[in-house]
Structure formats: C-alpha cells, structure tokens
C-alpha cells in the first residue's frame, strides 16, 4: 500500500475535519444558548427528515464515484475518469432534483405530521433547495477521494462549514429571541447556503484538476452500466436504512413521552443527547473517520492488483492503532466528563450522559474503520445489510424499551446496536483479510489507560480542577501525553509497528 500517500492524505483530511468539527461544535454550543435543548431537539427532528431526503438525492453516488475512479486508475485507464464523473453528475442531478421536489411539496405534511410542529415547515422548504447541490457535490467529493486529492476536498468542506455558520449567525442575530420558527429557519438557511457555496467551490477545483487526465484513449463502453450497477443497489439499501433511522429518531421523543415525560421534557432529553452530547463524544472520531474514507480507494487499488498480503498487514495495523486511540478517547471522556458538560454547556446533566456513553467509544470507532475497509474490499452491500438489520432491531427496541426505562433504555439500545453491528462487520472482515490482534497488546493498552486516567485525575484535583477552557485543554493534553508514553513503556505498540509507521512517514 502506498503508505506515504495514505499518511499525507489522512493528515490533510484529519486537519480539515478537525477544523470542521471545531467550528461545528462551537456553533452547536452557540445554538444551545440561543434556542435551548428543546429547540435543538426540534431541529434535530427536522434534520432527520432532511437526512432521508439527502439519501434519496445522493442515492449511493459518492461511493460509486470513488470506487469507479479508483478502478479506472488501478487498471491504467485514467483517461476515463472525466467521463465517469460526467455521468455521475447527471445521475446526481436527476436524483437531487427529484428529492428536492418531493421535500418541498410535502413540507407542510412533514412538519405537522412527522416532525410534530407546523412551525418547522419553512425550515424544511429551505433545506429542500440545497439537495441538488448536495448530491452533485457528493460526486465531486467522491472524485477527490478517489484520486487522493484530499486538500481540494478539504477546501470545499471548510468553505461549506464557514459559510453555514456565518450566514446562520448573521440571520439569527436579526431574529427576536423566543421566535423558534425563525431561529430554525435561519439555521436552515445557513445550511442551504453552505451546501450551494461548497458545490461551486468544489466544481471550480474539479475543473482545474481534471485536465491532468486528458482525453480518454481506452474503451469507455459500459461505464453507465457500471455506475448504475454500483449505485442503484447501494441506493436501495441506503433508502431502507435511512428510512429506518429516520423512524428511529422520530420515535425517540414519542417513546419518552410514553414513559411519562412531558412533550417538553422528551424534546429536552432528545436534544441534549443528540444535539449536545453526540457532537462532543464523536469529536475525536475525526481521525478515523478520515482514515475510513481514504482507505477505500487504497484497498480497492490493492485488491484490483491482487496484493492480499499487503491488504492483511494494513488492516491489522489500522485496527490496532484504532483500538489504542479509541481506548484513549474513552479514558479522556471518563476523566473530563464533568468538566466537558460544565465548560461547554454549563450543564451537569450533559456531563453525566458523556460519562455513560464514553464506554461506547472503542466499539463505535472500530466499527467506523471496519466499515471503511469492507467498502474498500467490495463488501459495501454486506455492510449495508448489516446496517439495515441493525436499524430494524434498534427501532423495535425503541418501541418496547423506551416506555418502561425512558432515557436509560435508549442508552442501552445505543450500546446493543453498536456491539451487534461491529460484531458482524468484524466477523466478515476476519474472513476476508485474516484479522489477527494480540490479546496481550490489548491488556497492556488497558493498563496504560488505567494508569494515565488515575494519574491525570490526581494532578487535576491537586491543581484545583479544570473548569475553564484553558484548564480543560491542558488537562486533556496532559492525559494524552501520559497515555502515549505509557503505551510505549508497556510495549503495547511493538517495535515492528513503529518501523512500519516510520517507513510510511519517510
């Protein structure tokens, strides 16, 4: 595997994603203070509807663009790449316009009957406008991933986030406090503006980049069939999964109400977990989210060339590094859960939920990387089937467990869902790529985590706590440094692993 290219692109995508997540988290904190947990919960329901419409708009085309571009490059037919993208854009525009029309026309019904608040109709109509740009932008994002030009993709993504936040903040500042309808509409306008701006930025970058492939000299017949053959099955599966996920999200507030909570309390709990806790606990996942996307074209190219030994070695090293990292994230969240809740949201309840969900991080992060590797090995349909089964099971559990157990029943469902999904994905990956991990290294990592967590907590307590932004950042950096030192001291990362990493860096 081209370690240097993967490393450089991972760093580029990680840095851009860190910037995006940082802006997004800061914006989420800003929103929580403007519209409260209830407003965030209501807008999260709107975004669940928008997520399903976006799935129809994209219809599997982002992964299809990445996969086909990687295949053409692996076969030495780089001249076909512009044709692949051109046909993918036609596909994306068709489905994007279809999804936009459906969402715009049915906005009134979606707001009143699905979201449960007629005030959200305007927000839904505004979001529908951006869908054709979102789907076309997904194609260009898939292209940049497939040709490993991550810097250009990062520029488009950052421009989207900056535009979204700037437009939203400007519009929110002009809305009267307490006008929830116009507040949410302002956020929706910012999201739509960000998608449109991002598409045009990506289009300019693509036009400047595509000339390197010249004019196709190979046989491009069958490209449309390959695009449809890859995208349509993915789209059908994605529709099913996202529909289930949307139903899943919409059922949570109603399930909490059936447990005896008021409508206001149900929306507050839902908004707290999905709009405030999740952005914090998933923030560090940016590193392996980037890697799981970039690994697709790399593994696809190795698979086309029949280099199975390299695939197996890369898979095992990536899984090991991901495990060490995710255990560290879990320890950091446990150490600073209280401070994270108070500093970011001035809420002890948010800190309690962060602590409860911190043990989920190793499973969640490992599942993200495993899914990326399965897609790179052509197992995207298997991964999609697992996700669909998982969504069906989670939806059933929400129906039966939320009324008697309320929010703690939902937390149990999150754990059960992630464990189930990861177990099936890892089983499949093991069969294909000969996964082999050392139990001894895992135990050493757990020992390093235990020592680092307790030592850091001792220092923080002796120094007077970390209940400020500066103190929190200092404490997290201290924990991370101690954890890495102990991983090396306990030999949880072997000399062979370090040699491979050094070779990639060189």
Contact 40, 271 (CB under 8 A): yes
Examine the domain organization and report whether 449 and 416 are in the same domain: no
- What interhelical angle do 286-304 and 308-345 show, nearest 10? 170
Residue 98 class from Cβ within 10 Å (0-12 exposed, 13-18 middle, 19+ buried)? middle
CB under 8 Å to 481, separation ≥6 — which residues?
Answer: none
Among residues 421, 437, 453, the one where a domain terminates is 437
pLDDT for position 9: 59
In the chain, the number of structural domains is: 2
Q: Grade residue 358 by pLDDT with cuts at 50, 70 and 90.
A: very high
Q: What is the DSSP letter of 142?
A: H
User: Could you read off the pLDDT of 96-127 as tens digits, one per residue?
Assistant: 999 999 999 999 999 988 888 888 999 999 99
344: tokens are: 């970011």
Res. 167: pLDDT tops 50:
yes
Residues 421-472 pLDDT 10s: 999 988 888 888 777 777 888 899 999 999 999 999 898 888 877 788 888 8
Residue 434 confidence (pLDDT):
76
* Statement: residue 84 has pLDDT above 80: yes
For the chain, helix, strand, coil in percent to 5 are: 90, 0, 10
Estimate to the nearest angstrom the gap between the alpha carbon of 293 and the chain centroid: 10
To 10 degrees, the CA torsion angle through 348, 349, 350, 352?
A: 90
In what helix (H) or strand (E) does residue 381 lie, and over which residues does it extend?
A: helix 380-433
Closest CA to 147 of 227, 206, 214, 215: 206
**Within this chain, do residues 443 and 432 fall inside the same structural domain, yes or no?**
no
Q: Are residues 374 and 442 in the same domain?
A: no
pLDDT above 60 for 505: no
Share of the chain above pLDDT 70, in %: 88
* Angle 45-48-53 from CA coordinates, rounded to 5°: 135
- Using the 3D structure, point to which of 376, 407, 437 is the last residue of a domain: 437
- How far is it, in rounded angstroms, from Cα 200 to Cα 48? 25
More confident residue, 401 or 5: 401
489 has a pLDDT exceeding 70: yes
Q: What is the model's pLDDT at position 214?
A: 58
* Residue span of the structural domain in which 18 resides: 3-437
Clarify whether residues 98 and 182 are in a common domain. Answer: yes
Same domain, 477 and 417: no
Question: What's residue 199's pLDDT?
Answer: 95
Got the DSSP string for 468-498? SHHHHHHHHHHHHHHHHHHHHHTTSS-HHHH
- The tokens for 349 are 């309840």
Whole-number Å distance between alpha carbons of 160 and 223: 31
Q: Which of 24, 54, 6, 105 has the alpha carbon at shortest distance from 344?
A: 24
* Residues 13 and 84 reside in one and the same domain: yes
240-to-110, 132, 396 alpha-carbon distances in Å: 18, 21, 15
Could you give the CA distance from residue 317 to residue 434 in angstroms, rounded to a whole number? 12
Q: Render pLDDT for 195-242 as a digit per residue (tens, 0 to 9).
A: 999 999 999 999 888 777 655 555 566 788 888 888 988 888 788 888
Q: Which of 416, 437, 458 is the last residue of a domain?
A: 437
pLDDT tens-digit profile of 12-68? Answer: 666 767 777 788 888 888 888 888 888 888 888 899 899 999 999 999 999 899 888
* One domain for residues 241 and 382: yes
CB 227 within 8 A of CB 92: no
Q: Tell me which of 131 and 243 has the higher pLDDT.
A: 131
Residues 358 and 502 in one domain: no
Assigned token pair, 1: 């595997």
Tell whether 127 and 20 lie within a shared domain.
Answer: yes
> 8 and 21, same structural domain?
yes
Q: Among 271, 280, 275, which residue's Cα sits nearest to residue 253?
A: 271
Q: Which residues contact residue 23 at a Cβ distance below 8 angstroms, ignoring those fewer than 6 apart?
A: 161, 162, 165
pLDDT at 274 (0 to 100):
85
Q: Pseudo-torsion of CA 94, 96, 97, 102, nearest 10°?
A: 120
Q: Do residue 383 and residue 478 come from a single domain?
A: no
Query: Any idea which of 90-94, 174-178, 314-318, 392-396 has the lowest mean pLDDT?
Result: 314-318
Please give the mean pLDDT across all residues of the chain. 84
The span from the CA of 371 to the CA of 435, in Å, is 14
DSSP 176: P
* pLDDT score of 1 more than 50: no
CB 192, CB 131: distance < 8 Å: no
SS3 148: coil
* Residue 176 dihedral angles phi and psi, to the nearest 5°: -65, 140
Residue 453 contacts residue 335 (beta carbons within 8 Å): yes
Answer yes or no: do 295 and 337 share one domain.
Answer: yes
């Amino acid at each position: 595997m081209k370690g240097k290219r993967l490393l450089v692109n991972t760093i580029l995508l990680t840095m851009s994603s860190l910037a995006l997540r940082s802006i997004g988290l800061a914006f989420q904190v800003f929103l929580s203070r403007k519209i409260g947990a209830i407003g965030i919960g209501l807008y999260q329901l709107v975004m669940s509807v928008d997520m399903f419409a976006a799935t129809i708009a994209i219809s599997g085309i982002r992964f299809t663009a990445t996969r086909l571009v990687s295949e053409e490059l692996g076969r030495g037919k780089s001249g076909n790449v512009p044709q692949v993208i051109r046909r993918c854009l036609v596909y994306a525009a068709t489905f994007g316009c279809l999804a936009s029309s459906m969402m715009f026309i049915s906005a009134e019904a979606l707001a009143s009957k699905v979201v449960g608040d007629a005030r959200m109709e305007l927000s839904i109509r505004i979001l529908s406008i951006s869908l054709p740009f979102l789907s076309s932008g997904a194609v260009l994002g898939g292209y940049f991933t497939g040709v490993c030009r991550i810097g250009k993709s990062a520029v488009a993504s950052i421009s989207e986030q900056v535009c979204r936040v700037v437009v939203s903040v400007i519009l929110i500042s002009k809305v009267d406090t307490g006008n929830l309808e116009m507040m949410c509409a302002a956020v929706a306008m910012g999201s739509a503006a960000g998608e449109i701006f991002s598409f045009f930025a990506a289009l300019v970058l693509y036009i400047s980049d595509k000339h390197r492939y010249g004019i196709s000299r190979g046989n491009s017949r069958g490209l449309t069939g390959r695009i449809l053959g890859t995208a349509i099955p993915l789209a059908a599966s994605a529709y099913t999964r996202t529909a289930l996920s949307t139903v899943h999200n919409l059922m949570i507030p109603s399930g909490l109400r059936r447990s005896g909570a008021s409508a206001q309390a149900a929306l507050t709990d839902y908004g707290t977990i999905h709009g405030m806790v999740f952005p914090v606990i998933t923030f560090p996942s940016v590193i392996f989210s980037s890697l799981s996307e970039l690994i697709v074209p790399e593994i696809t190219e190795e698979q086309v060339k029949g280099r199975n030994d390299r695939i197996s070695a890369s898979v095992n090293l990536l899984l090991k590094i991901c495990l060490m990292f995710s255990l560290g994230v879990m320890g950091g969240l446990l150490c600073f859960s209280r401070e994270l809740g108070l500093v970011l949201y001035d809420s002890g309840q948010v800190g309690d939920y962060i602590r409860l969900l911190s043990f989920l991080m190793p499973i969640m992060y490992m599942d993200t990387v495993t899914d990326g590797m399965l897609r790179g090995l052509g197992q995207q349909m298997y991964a999609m089937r697992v996700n669909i089964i998982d969504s069906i099971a989670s939806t059933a559990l929400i129906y039966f467990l939320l009324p008697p157990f309320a929010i703690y029943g939902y937390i149990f469902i999150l754990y059960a869902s992630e464990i189930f999904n990861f177990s099936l994905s890892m089983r499949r990956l093991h069969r294909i790529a000969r996964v082999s991990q050392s139990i001894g290294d895992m135990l050493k990592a757990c020992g390093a985590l235990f020592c680092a967590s307790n030592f850091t907590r001792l220092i923080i307590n002796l120094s007077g706590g970390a209940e400020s932004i500066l103190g929190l950042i200092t404490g997290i950096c201290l924990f991370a440094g101690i954890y890495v030192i102990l991983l090396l001291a306990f030999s949880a990362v072997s000399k062979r692993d370090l040699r491979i990493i050094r070779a990639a860096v060189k």
